[in-house]
Chains A and B, each alone.
Chain A
Amino acid sequence: MENISKIQAFASKFKETNLAFTPTSIADAKNTLLHLDFPTTKTEFWKYTRLAKLAQLRLNQEKIRENEQVVAPLTDNGIVRITNGYITSFSKEIAGLTITPFSKCSEQQLSLIGKKADLKQNIFLALNTLYSQEGLFIEVEENAQIEGVFQLLFHAHGENCFAPFRVFIHVKKGSAFKLIQQFTASGEHLFSLPIVEYLVEENARISCDKLQMENASSFLLCEDYSIQKRNSTVLLNTFSISGAWVRNNSSFLIEGENCETNLNGAYLLKDLQHLDNHTIVDHIAPHCNSNELYKGILSGKSTGVFNGKVFVRPNAQKISAFQSNANVLLSDDASVNSKPELEIYANDVKCSHGSTTGQLDENAVFYLRARGLSEKSARSLITQAFIAEVVDKVEQKEVRDFIKNKLVELHDWTN
C-alpha cells in the first residue's frame, strides 16, 4: 500500500467542494494537503497545542438539514443556523443586509474571499477551502446601521463529524454591524472548522462576540481574518466557555489610517480543557489604535496558551498598540503558556505588552470571608470580578448577561 501522510488519511472520507473562491484556490488547497502534514509541536505556531488526538480521528461530512438547539439564540433579529457545515435555517430579511449562500454569489463577490490568508502554509485553511460544502456571504450595505444583533449559530452534531464552513462579511463604507457567533456541539468526536473573513471598509464598524460552548469531546478551530480600511473600527470578543479543545487564530490587518482595533478574550478552563489563542495584529498604516486584553482562569488539569503578535510596520507612525494577557491558576495541575510579542519597525509609536500568571489573591479571599461570605462565594466573587473586565467590553447588555449566566451555570459560581 502506498504510504500516505497523516493529513491525507485524516481527509480520506471528506468530500471535495463544488465551490471555488478563486481560479486557483482548489488547486492550491490540494497542493498544500499533498505537501504539508499536521504540524508537530516543533513548529513554533503549534508549540503548545498538540494535534495528535485530532489527527487520529476518522471523520465524515454528514449532511444534516434539521435543527437542533442546544443553546437558545439571544435575540431573534436575524439568525442563520449552520449544522455540521450546512446551512440549516436562513435568516429573515433584514433591511441593509444581503445574505447569500456561496453557491449563489457573483464571481466578483467570490473573488474577495481568501485574499490575505496564506493557503500555501496552512493545512486548516486548505481543509476548509477544499471541503467546505457551503458558505455564507454577508454584505452590509453602504451607510446601513443594522439594528440589533445578528447571529450565526454554528452547531456540530453526531459522531465523528467534520464541520468546515466559510463566512465572508463585507462591511461596506459607513455601515455598522453587530454579530454574535455561537459554537455548540452535541455528540462525540466532532471537529468544527469555521473560518470567517471580515472586510471592513472606510468609516465602517463591526463588533463581533464569539461564544465558544462546545462539549467535552469536541475540537473547535476558529480562524478570523480581518482587513480594515481608513477610519474603520473592529471589535472582536472571544469567550471560551466550554469545549475540550479550542484553537483560535485571529489575524488583523490594519491597512487604513485612523482605525480602531479591539480584541478581547476571556476563558474559563477546567478538567482537561485545552485552549490556544493566537492573535496577530498587523499595523501597516499610521494613526491607529489597537487594544488587546485576554484574561483566563484555569482549574483542574486544563491548559491554556496565549500568543499575541503585534507588528508595527515602518510606515505605521503615531500608532498605539497595547496588549495584555492575565491568567489565574486555581489548581496546581493547570498551566498556561503566555507569550506576547511586539515587533516594531516604526519609531514614533506607543506600544506596551504584558503577561501575568498567578494564583487567586488569598488575602482577598480572607477579607471577604472575614465579612461573613462563605469560602466558595468569596472565591467565585473574586474570579468573576477578574473576568468581568473582559465581559464588560461586550456592547450588548443581553450578551453580557448571557455570558455571566452561562459562567455561573457551568462553573458552579454563586450569582
Chain B
Amino acid sequence: MINIVNLHAEVEEKKILKGLNLNVKAGEIHAIMGPNGSGKSTLASILAGKEDYTVTAGNVEFDGKDLLELSTEDRARQGLFLAFQYPIEIPGVSNVNFLKSALNEIREYRGEEQISAKDFLALVKEKSALVELDSKLASRSVNEGFSGGEKKRNEIFQMAMLNPKLAILDETDSGLDIDALRIVANGVNKLRSPKNAAIIITHYQRLLDYIIPDFVHVLYDGRIVKSGGKELALELEEKGYDWIKEELASNAE
C-alpha cells in the first residue's frame, strides 16, 4: 500500500525526519508511537503533501505511484486520508457542502459519475450515524465552534464519507472521552478491509485496545527505532521511552 524508504525531511533548515522506513501492506493497521516532537505529525503532513517541509532524501511509493510527485488533492483522490491532530476551523464553509464538492472532484478524477443529491444525503446520514455525529454538526461550518472531541469525530466522519484506501490518524484519540473513543474506534474498524490500511499515531495504548494493530512502531528522533506487535504498546505504556533511548545509546557505542 505505502512504502516509505529512507525519508529525510527538514523545515527551515531543521532536520526532522532522518531516514525513516515504513512499509504498510493492504489490510494492515500500523500504530506509530513516540515522544513529543519526534516527528510523527511531520511524517503525516509530508505524506499528505504539506509544502512547508522539504524532503531532502528518500522516496515514498503509494499504491504503485510516486507519492511525493502528486499534489495534495491528487493524493486524496488516490485514496490517502489524513485525520489532523489539530483540525482547523473554516468559518463559513459548510462541512457537507465542501464534502460534496470534494467527493465529486474525487469521482471526476477517477472517471466516475457525480453523486446524486439523494445518494449524497443518504451517505451523510449513514456516516454521521456511524460516528454518532449530530447531523446539525455535519452541516455547520467546518469545525467552527466545535469542541475538541467534536472536531476529532468530524475528522472520522469525513474519513467515513471519503472511504480512503489509506487512513492516517494523527492522535485522533486525544481529547476524546471514553464513549467517543469507542465510537471513533468503531468507525475505523468498520472501514477495515483487506483492501484498506491505516496508520494510527497515538500516545496511548488505550486506543489500541479497540483498534488492534498488526504492528507497533516507535518513532524517535526522526526514525523508526523499534517495531513490534501490539504487545510493544503495552510495554511502552508501562515503561515509557527511556529504555528505548538507552538501548539506542548502547547500540551506538
Given A373-B73, A373-B98, A374-B73, does the pair A368, B90 have CB atoms closer than 8 Å? yes
Number of interface residues, chain A, beta carbon within 8 A: 23
A381 and B105 contact, CB distance less than 8 A:
no
Q: Mark out the residues of chain A between 367 and 386 whose CB falls within 8 Å of any chain B CB in the assembled complex.
A: 367-375, 377-378, 381-382, 384-386
Within the assembled complex, what's the spacing in Å between the Cα atoms of A275 and B203?
53
A369 and B71 contact, CB distance less than 8 A:
yes
Q: Mark out the residues of chain A between 340 and 368 whose CB falls within 8 Å of any chain B CB in the assembled complex.
A: 361, 363-364, 366-368
> In the complex, what's the smallest C-beta–C-beta distance from A397 to chain B, in angstroms?
17
B73 and A364 contact, CB distance less than 8 A:
no
Q: What 1/0 mask marks residues of chain B from 69 to 81 whose CB sits below 8 Å from any chain A CB? A: 0011101110001
B99 and A371 contact, CB distance less than 8 A:
yes
Within the assembled complex, what's the spacing in Å between the Cα atoms of A366 and B72?
8
A377 and B101 contact, CB distance less than 8 A:
yes
A370 and B76 contact, CB distance less than 8 A:
yes
- Asked if B48 lies at the interface with its beta carbon under 8 angstroms from chain A, I say yes
- Asked if B93 lies at the interface with its beta carbon under 8 angstroms from chain A, I say yes
A370 and B90 contact, CB distance less than 8 A:
no
A364 and B90 contact, CB distance less than 8 A:
yes
Q: Mark out the residues of chain B between 75 and 111 whose CB falls within 8 Å of any chain A CB in the assembled complex.
A: 75-77, 81-82, 84, 87-88, 90-93, 98-99, 101-103, 105-106, 109
Given A377-B105, A385-B91, does the pair A372, B71 have CB atoms closer than 8 Å? no
- Asked if B49 lies at the interface with its beta carbon under 8 angstroms from chain A, I say yes
B105 and A367 contact, CB distance less than 8 A:
no
Residues on B with beta carbons closer than 8 Å to the beta carbon of A385 = 90-93, 141
CB within 8 A of B49: which of A370, A384, A388?
Answer: A370
Q: What 1/0 mask marks residues of chain A from 375 to 413 whose CB sits below 8 Å from any chain B CB? A: 101100110111011000000000000000000000000
Q: Mark out the residues of chain B between 32 and 85 whose CB falls within 8 Å of any chain A CB in the assembled complex.
A: 48-50, 71-73, 75-77, 81-82, 84
Within the assembled complex, what's the spacing in Å between the Cα atoms of A79 and B21?
71
Number of interface residues, chain B, beta carbon within 8 A: 30
Within the assembled complex, what's the spacing in Å between the Cα atoms of A377 and B76?
14
B103 and A372 contact, CB distance less than 8 A:
yes
Within the assembled complex, what's the spacing in Å between the Cα atoms of A368 and B103?
11
A389 and B90 contact, CB distance less than 8 A:
no
- Asked if B172 lies at the interface with its beta carbon under 8 angstroms from chain A, I say no
Within the assembled complex, what's the spacing in Å between the Cα atoms of A386 and B91?
8
A364 and B88 contact, CB distance less than 8 A:
yes
Q: Across the interface, name the chain A residue whose C-beta is closest to B161.
A: A371
> In the complex, what's the smallest C-beta–C-beta distance from A164 to chain B, in angstroms?
39
Q: Mark out the residues of chain B between 97 and 137 whose CB falls within 8 Å of any chain A CB in the assembled complex.
A: 98-99, 101-103, 105-106, 109
Residues on B with beta carbons closer than 8 Å to the beta carbon of A377 = 101, 105
Q: What 1/0 mask marks residues of chain B from 193 to 221 whose CB sits below 8 Å from any chain A CB? A: 00000000000000000000000000000
A386 and B92 contact, CB distance less than 8 A:
yes
B77 and A372 contact, CB distance less than 8 A:
yes
> In the complex, what's the smallest C-beta–C-beta distance from B77 to chain A, in angstroms?
5
> In the complex, what's the smallest C-beta–C-beta distance from B234 to chain A, in angstroms?
32
CB within 8 A of A369: which of B73, B87, B103, B109?
Answer: B73
Which A residues contact B (CB, under 8 angstroms)? 361, 363-364, 366-375, 377-378, 381-382, 384-386, 388-389, 414
Listed from nearest, the 3 A-B pairs whose CB atoms lie closest are A385-B92, A372-B76, A369-B72
